[in-house]
Amino acid sequence: MTGAGRAGALALIAALALASCAPGPAPRRSSGTPSPSAARSSTPALPCPNSTPQPRSAEHYHYAGKLPEGTVSSPAYRLRPVTRGAVGQLARAVGLDGVDESAGDQPGDRVYERSDYVKGRLYVDTGRRIWRFDRGTVPERATPVSEAAAKRIAQPLQRTLGIEHADVDASQILGHGQDDVRIVTVTPVIGGVRPLERTVLHIDGSGRLIQGTGFLLFPEKVRSVEGPTARQALRTLDQPGQGAPGCPQPPDIHYTVTGVRLGLKPYRCAYPSTWALEPAWVFDLTGRSGPYQPDETETSRGFLSTGSQGCPSR
């Protein structure tokens, strides 16, 4: 999340596709995607060692503004496989010569790596569709490049990653006057809708990419899907409390919805092992996390979804 997000936004996502249209077994979630129960239960349990399960607070979500009316029809996308050729192009874009390949965590997944003491280290996991680059050297020059220069430096990498159509922000600077770096945040725009995943690049004062990370998209449209209204989706977030004999019931927790928009959420399909982007209502929330952290605002992000509209059939 950006600094503004860390200051106060909690994004909870209710997918438009509440029932799977793809045949076969229930969709498998990636290791980085929490289950609906985990996403909803964001508050810690009260200490009550003699009770199983532990008591939990009820959660309520309130929106004072006007929610979008009516259902929304929006495309779902299948994500094309991450090939060795695509990874090789990424390696060359960050200044490395080729990559080494190994098996990933699941059948069909591949991991590509290349480390160079001078040029840096690239890591790509096709199963999780993530990439990371770290030059591993101290940034050069204390004065950061301008916003315009940072955006120009990011463009070749955007083309390599297939995210030329994007909102690009380069207003952030990391550092305190020494070895400052410019942070470039690239938010792709696909069919007018923004995925939740972003690409973040760190550019030093000499214009070098010193760090980068992102989610590999390569989307292709599958179909348009109809979903519930924003109000119906918001209602799915309310959760009753959970009591336990002999334990105090924790107080209810109330969140305030500060914004709502349509987004695209990455989703790992069950068969075959591939990924999709499914349309989702995204709610920005602020609120307290309970009596044990009275002054903190939740900053984690959870997914509420059972859809797989972009997944291929058997």
The per-residue pLDDT for range 279-302, each reduced to its tens digit, is 888 888 776 543 333 333 332 233
The structure tokens listed for 53 are: 């399960």
Residue 168, pLDDT above cutoff 60? yes
Residue, of 277 and 308, whose pLDDT is higher? 277
Q: Say how many C-beta atoms besides its own lie within 10 A of residue 264's C-beta.
A: 28
- Residue 309's pLDDT is 62
- Residue 274's pLDDT is 84
| DSSP E strand stretches across 138-244 | 166-174, 181-188, 194-195, 199-203, 209-215, 219-226
Buried b (16+ CB within 10 A) or exposed e, 32-65: ebbebeebbbbbebbebeeeeeebbbbbebebee
The structure tokens listed for 84 are: 């060795």
Residue 246, pLDDT above cutoff 70? yes
Q: Which of 81-85, 177-181, 223-227, 288-292 is predicted least confidently?
A: 288-292
Per-residue pLDDT band for 47 (boundaries 50, 70, 90) equals low
Nearest CA to 214 among 95, 102, 39, 87? 87
pLDDT in tens, 231-244: 888 888 888 988 87
Per-residue pLDDT band for 49 (boundaries 50, 70, 90) equals low
Q: Is the pTM of this model over 0.85?
A: no
CB-based contacts of 198: which residues, under 8 Å, 6+ apart? 185, 186, 187, 188, 214, 215
CATH class of the 139-216 domain in this structure: alpha beta
Residue 35, pLDDT above cutoff 60? no
Residues of each domain in the chain carrying CATH 3.10.450: 139-216
Q: How far apart are CA 140 and CA 125, in angstroms?
A: 29
Contact of 234 with 281, CB cutoff 8 Å: yes
Q: Which of 116-125, 191-200, 265-274 is predicted least confidently?
A: 265-274
Residue, of 216 and 19, whose pLDDT is higher? 216
Query: What is the pairing mode between strands 302-304 and 10-15?
Result: parallel
Strand partners, 102: 111
Q: Say how many C-beta atoms besides its own lie within 10 A of residue 200's C-beta.
A: 15
Residue, of 40 and 46, whose pLDDT is higher? 46
Residue 28, pLDDT above cutoff 70? no
Contact of 129 with 79, CB cutoff 8 Å: yes
Which SS3 state, helix, strand or coil, does residue 103 take? strand
- Residue 2's pLDDT is 44
Contact of 262 with 11, CB cutoff 8 Å: no
Residue, of 119 and 48, whose pLDDT is higher? 119
Mean pLDDT, all residues of the chain: 77
Helix axes 147-161, 84-93, angle to 10 degrees: 160
Question: What count of residues does the chain have?
Answer: 314
Residue 313, pLDDT above cutoff 70? no
